[in-house]
Structure 1
Amino acid sequence: MARIAIDMDNVMADLTAHMIHLYEQKHGVRVTRESLNGHPDGGGFPIEGETLKFIHEEGFFRSLPVMPDSQEVIKSLMDKHEVFIVSAATEFPLSLKEKIDWLGEHFPYISWRNVVLCGSKTIIEADYMIDDHDKNLRYFKGERLLFTAPHNILLNDYKRVNNWQEVAEYFQLTPALVK
């Protein structure tokens, strides 16, 4: 049984889609996901730095949309492996309770014992880590899977997974999960 550490933002929760939506609501300008490719996390919007303000607002992390297929694939991973949800959440203190509540709503089968909210992921020991940030994967000693997000599109240093169906294929989950 392998131990798998899974990030939340831009892996389980579609932070980018949420920022695009909030930006459009506030400024009336629709930004495409593709136009954000290659920009730093939260960058690439017409008003630089604007979306980074969103993450400090109450309710931001509680209202993130769920990544397609993540619920089913993570549940299947838990049937065969030891899964931990790992989020560098302490940088955003408002996010702590919101992330716990979000997980309870969308992933009720994940026990509180399998949730790690930390500052630095360098303390995490597992066989695999699925994350969208180089800063979290760089020092990880196990197998590193880079989950595609606009800010990491130019990275080539890791095995890349573009979506949860590719995660299911990588871990050879039942064909029913693979479309």
Structure 2
Amino acid sequence: MAKKRIAIDMDGVMADLNQHYCDWYFERTGERVTKEQLKGLPETTGFPQEGIVHHFLHTPGFFRTAPVMQGSQEVIRALMEDYEVFIVSAAVEFPQSLTEKIDWLKEHFPFISWKNIVFCGLKTIVKADYMIDDYDKNLRYFEGERMLFSAPHNSNYEDYNRYDTWEDVAKFFAARQVEVAG
């Protein structure tokens, strides 16, 4: 029997871009902004110097230096034992990010094969049993199980099952394994 497939987003799910925005903003302006202050606001907004954070997305080195989302490495490695896992990123929106994202994955997730990395524009082409993403625009048209990974910009979304941490994701899939075995 074929393994079920999980599509996992990078930015905001595996890479903690929201913390990265806050850190880069502080390093460049000396002004501290927390993720809590960004809650409910569109991504890259809510910073005193409007527009600067959007500029980070076009700055060489930004995607390469993003911190890893706590727990993601261990949980994804474990999921790969029972599922076919694909990393799916709308990376072509920021073309300079392509190489940086590949290098980031090689460093932090060396157990993920290049064959399981998909860079695309729209994620409507993705066919999987589960998708873990932080954006409604990616989950809305997905035909499998939609899993919203919590981020400040999606705190107002109510249409999806929400996962605040990778531990929550692990618990969900552990329960699925028990259901299948039971």
Instruction: Report the TM-score, using the length of structure 2 for normalisation.
Output: 0.94
Does the alignment pair 1:34 with 2:36? yes
Q: Which residue of 1 aligns with 2:77?
A: 75
Q: Which residue of 2 aligns with 1:98?
A: 100
Inter-partner Cα distance in structure 1 for 2:47 and 2:150: 19
The Cα shift of 1:49 comes to 1.7
Could you say what secondary structure the match of 1:90 adopts?
A: helix
Q: Which has the higher helix share?
A: 2
Could you say what secondary structure the match of 2:25 adopts?
A: helix
Runs of 4+ off more than 6 Å: none
Identity of aligned residues (%): 61
**1:11 alignment partner, one of 10, 13, 18:** 13
Inter-partner Cα distance in structure 1 for 2:90 and 2:160: 20
- Structure 2, unmatched stretches of 5+, are 178-182
Inter-partner Cα distance in structure 1 for 2:127 and 2:170: 22
Amino acid at match of 1:64: A
**2:166 alignment partner, one of 160, 164, 167:** 164
The Cα shift of 1:71 comes to 0.2
Q: Which residue of 2 aligns with 1:177?
A: none
The Cα shift of 1:50 comes to 1.3
Correspondence 1:5-154 to 2 at 5 A? 5-154=7-156
- Structure 1, unmatched stretches of 5+, are 175-179
Amino acid at match of 2:135: H
Instruction: Report the TM-score, using the length of structure 1 for normalisation.
Output: 0.95
Inter-partner Cα distance in structure 2 for 1:46 and 1:59: 23
Inter-partner Cα distance in structure 1 for 2:155 and 2:74: 25
Inter-partner Cα distance in structure 1 for 2:50 and 2:126: 32
Amino acid at match of 2:173: F
Pairwise CA RMSD of aligned residues? 1.0
